[in-house]
């Protein structure tokens, strides 16, 4: 992985992914998308290798995004890895629903925009940099709770449904991308429960689970990403490399 785009680089998993890559390879260059680039901190030594681009997943203007990317990405750049690590589970107007009465239209739309819709729009805007002959990895950080067949508990309507939508978008892209920019592996990955802002409100219930630190999760995801070939295109993969049910 040499030229990597990370959407959600300000998050626990996105930033750990970037740090892991920067430490592991002096030649790696990262283009990180986030809402507040000024608030993202990386060591001064890495600044030449990390390029931050303002981006809000709620502003769904694909043409505006393509133009902004063109301002930052050299026209002859070949992107080999795209990681979509933006996501939302809770926020001001969004709390994981426990029952039908908790469902709100605003929360549903918000979750779908950030967790699902902005992902294919980013891939659409990045297409000019994905048309080359080397393997491209397009990795959407999904969640096991987005599995339809594995849903035995219910609840978390907006989050579960938006991650299921993300998974469908991965499958659709996995069908079209090989026609447009072979060889490619477009996959959904479950990062494993990880200690980040997203999981913080659930700390107490997490005590029974195997919870990873962001650095461990980044290492696991990078191992999965590095092992990908075009034969893996369209898979839903757990952090340990095993298949997950859709
Ligand atoms: N942590 C877990 O246990 C766990 C488990 C399964 C799946 N995941 C998935 O892993 C991914 C990363 O989550 P995380 O744990 O690293 O959580 P996090 O630390 O809360 O990071 C979430 C990221 O999403 C970004 N984001 C949220 N709303 C956005 C918007 N409107 N526009 C642009 N970016 C936006 C955040 O940006 P700001 O910094 O600007 O808020 C941040 O970069 C998510 O897709 C999550 O669903 C996490």
Q: Domain for residue 29, yes or no?
A: yes
Which structural domain range is residue 64 located in? 3-238
What is the average per-residue pLDDT within 230-243?
Answer: 98
Quote the DSSP letter at residue 211: P
What gap in Å lies between CA 176 and CA 115, rounded to an integer?
21
Is the confidence at residue 207, as pLDDT, over 80? no
Q: Is residue 81 part of a domain?
A: yes
**Residue 208 — very low, low, confident or very high, per pLDDT cuts 50/70/90?**
confident
Number of domains in the chain: 1
pLDDT tier for residue 93 given thresholds of 50, 70 and 90: confident
Inside any domain, residue 73: yes
- Asked if the structure places residue 186 within a domain, the reply is yes
pLDDT, one tens digit per residue, over 9-68 is 999 999 999 999 999 999 999 999 999 999 998 887 788 999 999 999 999 776 799 999
- Give how far Cα 176 sits from Cα of 50, 91, 179, Å: 30, 34, 6
Which residue has its alpha carbon closest to ligand 1 atom 45? 87
pTM for the model stands at 0.97
**What pLDDT does 129 receive?**
98
Token digits of residue 40 = 């993202």
Is 108 part of any domain?
yes
- Residue whose Cα lies nearest atom 6 of ligand 1: it is 143
DSSP H helices, the chain, are 12-24, 62-72, 105-112, 118-130, 157-181, 203-206, 214-227
Please give the Cα distance from 91 to 214 (Å, whole number): 20
Residues with CB under 6 A from ligand 1: 8, 10-14, 34-36, 55-58, 85-88, 114, 141, 143, 191, 193-194, 196-199
Q: 139: domain CATH number?
A: 3.40.50.720
Residue 89 lies in a domain: yes
pLDDT for 203 = 79
Residue 78's pLDDT is what? 97
- Specify if 22 maps to a domain: yes
The CA distance from 241 to 99, in Å, is 33
Residue 246 lies in a domain: no
pLDDT digits 0-9 by tens, 143-194: 999 999 999 999 999 999 999 999 999 999 999 999 999 999 999 999 999 9
Predicted pLDDT at 23:
93
Q: How confident is the model at residue 205 (pLDDT cuts 50, 70, 90)?
A: confident
pLDDT in tens, 95-117: 999 999 999 999 999 999 999 99
Candidate of 10, 11, 82, 93 to mutate for ligand 1, largest count of ligand atoms within 8 Å of Cβ: 11
Q: Measured in angstroms, how far is the CA atom of residue 227 from the centroid of ligand 1?
A: 24
């Amino acid at each position: 992985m040499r030229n990597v785009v990370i959407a959600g680089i300000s998050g626990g998993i996105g930033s750990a992914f970037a740090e892991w890559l920067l430490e592991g390879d002096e030649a790696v260059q990262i283009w990180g998308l986030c809402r507040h680039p000024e608030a993202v901190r990386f060591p001064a030594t890495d600044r030449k290798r990390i390029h931050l681009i303002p981006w809000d997943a709620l502003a769904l203007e694909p043409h505006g995004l393509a133009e902004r990317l063109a301002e930052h990405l050299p026209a002859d750049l070949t992107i080999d890895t795209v990681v979509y690590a933006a996501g939302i589970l809770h926020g001001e107007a969004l709390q994981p629903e426990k029952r039908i009465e908790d469902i709100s239209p605003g929360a549903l739309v918000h979750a779908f925009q950030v967790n699902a819709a902005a992902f294919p729009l980013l891939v659409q805007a990045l297409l000019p940099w994905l048309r080359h002959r080397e393997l491209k990895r397009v990795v959407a950080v999904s969640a096991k709770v987005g599995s339809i067949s594995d849903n035995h508990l219910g609840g978390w309507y907006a989050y579960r449904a938006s991650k299921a939508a993300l998974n469908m978008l991965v499958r659709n892209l996995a069908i079209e991308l090989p026609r447009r920019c072979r060889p490619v592996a477009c996959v959904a990955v479950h990062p494993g429960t990880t200690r980040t802002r997203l999981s913080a409100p659930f700390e107490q219930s997490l005590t029974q689970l195997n919870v990873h630190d962001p650095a461990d999760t980044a290492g696991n995801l990078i191992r999965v990403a590095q092992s990908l070939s075009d034969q893996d295109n369209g898979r839903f993969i757990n952090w340990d490399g095993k298949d997950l049910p859709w």
